Structure 1
Amino acid sequence: MTWDQVPLRSICEVTAGPSGSLLESLHDSPDGVPVISPSDLTDHHTVDTRRIRRVPQGEAERLSRFALREGDLLTVRQGALGRLALIGPEQVTWFYGSSCLRIRPRSELVLPTYLVSYLSYPPVQRALLGQSIPGTVPSLNSAMLNELPVTLPPLDRQQSAVEALADVDARIRSLRQMADRLEALRPAMFGELMGGTRCT
C-alpha cells in the first residue's frame, strides 16, 4: 500500500534556535533554565542532561518563544547532522541552542513518536544529509527541512508502526543486557575452568 507524501511544513512547525547573542550568559552552574545543545542529543533520541548548560532564570521571558513542549523534536542543524531527540515531560519549558532546529508536530496529523522513527530511517537520513549546505561545518536550514517529503499513513497505522518498533527495541535491550551479563561472567567461568589456577 502506498501512502501520501507531504512536505514536513504541512504537518509541523520548524523553528531555528536563538542567535548566539541571546545565549551569551550560558553557564555550567545548576541554577537557571537548561539549554539543550547538539552534544546533549543521544543515539537513542533522548536528551543527556549530565553536561547541560543553563541561562539565568531572569532571561527566560525574552527566550520564551524558544521554550520546548512535550512532543517537540530537536534536530541538529550545524555539525553532527542527523542527530535528533524527542522532548519528554522532563524537558518542558527548557530552551535549545542556536545549532538546533525545533520541529513541532501537529498532533492531529502526525504522532511525534512516528516522526522520530521516520526522520531517523536511514533512507530519509541520507536524503536529508544529501541536501545539506556543504562547507567546513555542514548545515541545514529551516527551508530545507520544511520541504522534506514525509510519508504519512493514517494515525492508527502510525501508532501500529510505533508499537511494533517499541517491541523490537525492548527485545534489543533485553539481548544487550543478557550479553553484558555473559561478558561479566566470562572471566569467572574461565577461572573455574582453570581450576582456580593463579598466575603470578
Structure 2
Amino acid sequence: MAHDQPWRASGTTRLPLGHCCQVTAGPSGSLLDTLHDGPSGVPVIAPPDLTEHLTVDTRRIRRVPDSQAQRLARFALQAGDILLVRQGTLGRLALIGAEHTGWFYSSSCLRIRPDRTRILPEYLAAYLAHPPVQRELVAQAQSGTVPSLNSAMLNEFPVEVPPLARQQSVVDALADIDEQIEVQRMMLNRLVTLRPSVFDKLTRGE
C-alpha cells in the first residue's frame, strides 16, 4: 500500500488517507435502536440520504431522542466531514455542511474528518467521487453476501494530495462547472415545461 513519498515533481504526493484524515466507523446498531420518524430528536444520516450531488437529502431523515444523544456524542458530525457509504451503495458520499453540525450517522457509513492543514474537505470529496477513484475504492471492498468497506481499508486507501493552493484551484474550477450545470439544468426544465403549451398554441393556430 502507499507510503509518504513524492508522487509527482509538481508537488503532489500520494498518501494513505489515514495520514491526512481521521476515519471513524458509524455506531453499532444497538446504539441506534431508538430511531424514529418523528420531528423531535437529533437527525441520523443514513445511506439513502446521500445524493449523487455529494449532498444530504433531509426529506426522509430519521432521528434519535435527545435523551440518547449523549451516548452518541463521539459520532457527532461537523462541517467539512465526509460521509462515505460502507455497506450497500458502496462509494456514495456527501460533504457535510454547517447545517448538519451535531447530527449523527448510521452504522452503514464511515466518517472521514480531513486535516485541513493537509487536505481541503471539498477537494477530498471531489477526489473520492471521481469515477476512476470510485472504481478503485469499490474494488477494495470485502467480498461476501453484502460487500463492505471498513475503516482499516479506508485508512490505507491512497489519495493524491496536491499543495493546498492547487487543491483550492481544483475546488473553484469544479464549483464554476457545477454552477453552469445548474443553469443548464434549469433551462432544460423550463423548456420541458414549455413544450406542451407551445404544442397547444401551434395546433390551435395561435
With the shorter chain as reference, the TM-score category is over 0.9
What is the identity percentage for the equivalent residue pairs of Structure 1 and Structure 2? 63
Aligned AA (1:75):
L
| Residue 135 of structure 1, CA deviation | 2.1
Distance 1:129 1:135 in 2: 13
Query: In the alignment, which residue of structure 2 is the partner of 1:92?
Result: 101
Q: How many residues align?
A: 197
Query: In the alignment, which residue of structure 1 is the partner of 2:136?
Result: 127
Distance 2:182 2:171 in 1: 16
Consecutive unaligned residues in structure 1, runs of 5 or more:
none
Residue deviations 1:50-88, cap 9 Å, x none? 111111111111110000011000000101001100111
| Residue 21 of structure 1, CA deviation | 0.5
Confirm whether residue 67 of structure 1 aligns to residue 76 of structure 2.
Answer: yes
TM superposition score normalised by structure 1: 0.96
Maintained 8 Å contact 2:23/2:155: yes
Equivalent residue in structure 1 for 2:124, among 94, 106, 115:
115
Maintained 8 Å contact 2:11/2:163: no
Q: How does 1:13-162 map to 2 (within 5 A)?
A: 13-162=22-171
| Residue 196 of structure 1, CA deviation | 5.0
Aligned AA (1:56):
P
Residue deviations 1:75-134, cap 9 Å, x none? 001010011001111110111000000000001111000000000001100000011112
Give the superposed CA RMSD. Answer: 1.2
- Could you list the structure 1 runs, at least 4 aligned residues long, displaced by more than 3 angstroms after superposition: none
Consecutive unaligned residues in structure 2, runs of 5 or more:
1-9
TM superposition score normalised by structure 2: 0.93
Aligned AA (1:91):
H
Maintained 8 Å contact 2:76/2:101: yes
| Residue 194 of structure 1, CA deviation | 1.4
Distance 2:100 2:122 in 1: 16
